[in-house]
């Protein structure tokens, strides 16, 4: 069962993803850039590196969830 915090974070991520895609940035590119930013120079890293696999899993799940809920946004952004 999801906690309120998890639901809030999921909604926040969905909103950011939707805005990025509407601005013409395909969400898969945004996720890939974020993952790269966690690894290269760790410019986005705020947790111990031991948690990165869990972070990547969450990002991948968010990507998959977003793509299934908003497939036309991803297609629109890629064709723009």
Residue 13: per-residue pLDDT: 80
Q: Considering its fold, how many domains does the chain have in total? A: 1
Q: Strand, helix or coil at 34?
A: helix
Write phi, then psi, for 10 (nearest 5 degrees): -65, -45
Residue 71: per-residue pLDDT: 61
Q: Are 62 and 13 in contact (CB under 8 A)?
A: yes
pLDDT per residue of the chain (80 residues) written in tens, 0 to 9: 578 888 888 788 888 888 888 899 888 888 888 889 888 867 788 888 898 898 888 888 877 777 776 665 554 444 44
Residue 70: per-residue pLDDT: 63
Q: Give the structural domain span for 68.
A: 4-79
């Amino acid at each position: 069962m999801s906690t309120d915090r998890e639901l809030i974070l999921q909604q926040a991520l969905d909103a950011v993803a939707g805005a990025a895609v509407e601005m013409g940035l395909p969400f898969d590119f945004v996720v890939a850039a974020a993952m790269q930013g966690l690894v290269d120079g760790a410019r986005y890293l705020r947790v111990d590196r031991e948690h990165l696999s869990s972070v990547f899993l969450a990002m991948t799940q968010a990507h998959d969830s977003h793509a299934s809920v908003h497939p036309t946004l991803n297609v629109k952004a890629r064709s723009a």
